[in-house]
Amino acid sequence: MVVFAPSPQLTVTVEQVEGSPDVHVHAGGQGFWQSRMITALGSPVTLCCALGGESGTVLRHLMAGPNIEVRAREVSARNGAYVHDRREGDREPLVEMAPDKLSRHELDDLYELTVVAAIESGTAVLSGSADTATEEVVPVSVYERLTADLVRNGCRVVVDLAGARLASALKATPTVVKIAHDECQEDGRAESAELPDLLAAAKDIARGGVDLVVVSRAADPTIAVYGGNAVTVTAPALDPVDTRGGGDSMTAGIAAAFAQGADIDTALRLGAAAGALNITRHGLGTGGGEAVRVLADRVRIEPIGEKDS
């Protein structure tokens, strides 16, 4: 499948090992984390992105893998970078460099290579980038255009977006929408984090023609709306190490299941299990595919009745 990741992020982590600092350099960003989990579940990924600056040069080497093909547009814009300190256990940000905006020609080329790769594959995940609120790496309108072009050419489109990016993609009716409960509130789609309000928000998105809407709720059961059904999806309880990235792994599990021809219930089970396993690990978008599938068998899917909502 294809993952659209406009500008992956270079991450540097300082940890403490046996009393001495230990520095780790990794590729990061939503799209790369999703790609890593998708490949762990058995589906090769074509990662479509822009790479530029010293951070982009390093990222090209770090993202390479046996099941991830990187199709990158070389750009003058720098990829972002994030440095944090975990020597005391908690993640302490030290430096964050925002990515640069792509030029018009850079954007056109990235768009073209993404469309071609996605139509060839049949399934695409559209992710965001770690840009600032005031400067977009790519215009939000790209998500409407890309969704529309892929859907009309028979490609299944999974979006894990929020804010203006989600609003843009929804204009073209993606196949699957995954959004977190706090994003629903921040976007004004839900008045609270209570189940009835989040369910109403999910149903409102589904009414636009989206086949599956998934609302993750941190430690609470996920909400899913599809085909006139409204259900909760409960993963096995596991002790968390790092809750970041659980939602991205959930999206990856759902997308991988669909790419492998699974039905919606199976996709929800795999997504919930991938998210649950990820938070038990230090690396985002990590976890063994076999372990995810074992956990998937223990995921509960239960209808939401009137008394629940």
- Express each pLDDT in 108-156 by its tens digit: 999 999 999 999 999 999 998 766 544 589 999 999 999 999 999 999 9
Mean pLDDT for 50-76 is: 94
Contact (CB, 8 A) for 251 and 34: yes
pLDDT over 80 at 300, yes or no: yes
Query: Taking the model in full, what pTM does it have?
Result: 0.90
Q: What is the pLDDT of residue 309?
A: 56
**149-182 per-position pLDDT tens digit:** 999 999 999 999 999 999 999 999 999 999 999 9
Count of all residues that appear for the chain in the document: 309
175-309, CATH topology level? UDP-N-acetylmuramoyl-L-alanine:D-glutamate ligase (3.40.1190)
Q: What is the pLDDT of residue 234?
A: 94
Q: What is the pLDDT of residue 279?
A: 57
Only one residue has tokens 């309000």, namely 197
pLDDT over 90 at 304, yes or no: yes
Give dist(CA 302, CA 309) in Å, integer. Answer: 13
Give dist(CA 98, CA 148) in Å, integer. Answer: 28
**86-96 per-position pLDDT tens digit:** 888 778 899 99
Mean pLDDT for 275-292 is: 65
Give CATH 3.40.1190.20 domain extents, the chain.
1-172, 175-309
pLDDT over 50 at 66, yes or no: yes
Q: Kindly report which listed range (56-60, 222-226, 265-269, 276-280) carries the lowest average pLDDT score.
A: 276-280
Q: How far is CA 188 from CA 32, 57, 215, in A?
A: 28, 39, 14
1-172, CATH topology level? UDP-N-acetylmuramoyl-L-alanine:D-glutamate ligase (3.40.1190)
**214-270 per-position pLDDT tens digit:** 999 988 899 999 999 999 999 887 765 554 557 899 999 999 999 999 999 999 999
Mean pLDDT for 200-224 is: 95
Q: What is the pLDDT of residue 134?
A: 46
Contact (CB, 8 A) for 68 and 44: yes
With 0-12 CB in 10 A as exposed, 13-18 as middle and 19+ as buried, what is 97? middle
Identify the CA nearest to 2 among candidates 94, 89, 70, 78: 70
